[in-house]
């Protein structure tokens, strides 16, 4: 996953509008990710904000895309640490 590049607010707006295919296409253009990785990233972004529909538009207005990616990565790392080191 390309962490250093920040996704444009347009990606989040497309996801908020339910235009997932267009969002995936834009993620691929902005990051250089393959189709599978871009799809997984889009689905992860949707999954993180599925419970609150206002979260994605609020993030796009504030330009906080890098914060969302950082939260997703932190959650993934915490999960992997739990699975590999703390679970029996």
Neighbours of 16 (CB within 10 A): 20
Residue 49: predicted pLDDT: 57
Show pLDDT as tens, one digit a residue, over the chain (88 residues): 444 357 888 988 999 899 999 999 999 998 888 999 989 988 888 886 554 444 455 554 555 567 778 788 888 888 888 788 876 5
Distances (CA, A) of 46 to 42, 64, 85, 86, 88: 6, 15, 28, 28, 31
Q: Where are the domains of the chain?
A: 9-86
Residue 19: predicted pLDDT: 92
Structure tokens at 36: 């599978």
Judging by beta carbons within 10 Å of its beta carbon (0-12, 13-18, 19+), is residue 47 exposed, middle or buried? exposed
Judging by beta carbons within 10 Å of its beta carbon (0-12, 13-18, 19+), is residue 81 exposed, middle or buried? exposed
């Amino acid at each position: 996953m390309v962490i250093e590049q920040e996704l444009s607010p347009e990606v989040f707006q497309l996801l908020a509008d339910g235009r997932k295919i267009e969002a995936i296409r834009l993620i691929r253009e902005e990051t250089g990710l393959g189709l599978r990785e871009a799809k997984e990233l889009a689905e992860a972004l949707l999954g993180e904000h599925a419970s609150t529909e206002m979260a994605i538009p609020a993030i796009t207005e504030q330009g906080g895309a890098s914060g969302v990616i950082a939260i997703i990565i932190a959650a993934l790392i915490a999960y992997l640490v739990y699975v590999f080191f703390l679970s029996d």
